Homo-oligomer: A and B are copies of this chain.
Amino acid sequence: MTRTRPARLKPGDTVAVVAPAGPVPAEPLDAGVAVLRDWGLRVEVGKHVLDRHPDVPYLAGHDAHRVGDLQRAWCDPDVAAVICARGGYGAMRMVDLLDWDAMAEAGPKVFTGSSDITALHQAIGDHLDLVTVFSPIVAGESFDPTAQKYLRATLFEPESMLSLTGPTVATMNHGTATGPVVGGNLSLLSSCVGSSARPPDDAIVLLEDVNEEPYKVDRMLTQLLRAGWFTGVSGIALGSWTGCGEPAEVYAVLADLLGGLGMPTVWDLGFGHVPAQLTIPLGVEATLNADAGTLTLTEPALV
Contact = CB atoms under 8 A, between A and B. Distances in A.
A167 interface: no
A227 B227 CA distance: 13
Contacts of A93: 218, 222
A102 interface: no
B219 A56 contact: no
Nearest to A95: B226
Nearest to A249: B57
A173 to B, nearest CB: 16
A229 B58 contact: no
A201 interface: no
Given A218-B89, A222-B93, A56 B256 contact: yes
A89 B257 CA distance: 14
A195 B215 CA distance: 19
Interface in A209-242: 214-216, 218-220, 222-224, 226-229
Contacts of A96: 226
Contacts of A223: 92, 191-195
A55 to B, nearest CB: 5
Contacts of A58: 214-215, 218
A89 B92 CA distance: 25
Given A55-B252, A56-B253, 4 more contacts: A56-B218, A191-B222, A193-B227, A194-B226
The 3 closest A-B pairs by CB, nearest first: A194-B227, A195-B226, A193-B194
19 contacts: A56-B214, A56-B252, A56-B253, A56-B256, A88-B215, A92-B222, A92-B223, A93-B218, A187-B219, A191-B222, A191-B223, A192-B226, A193-B194, A194-B194, A194-B223, A194-B224, A194-B227, A194-B229, A195-B227
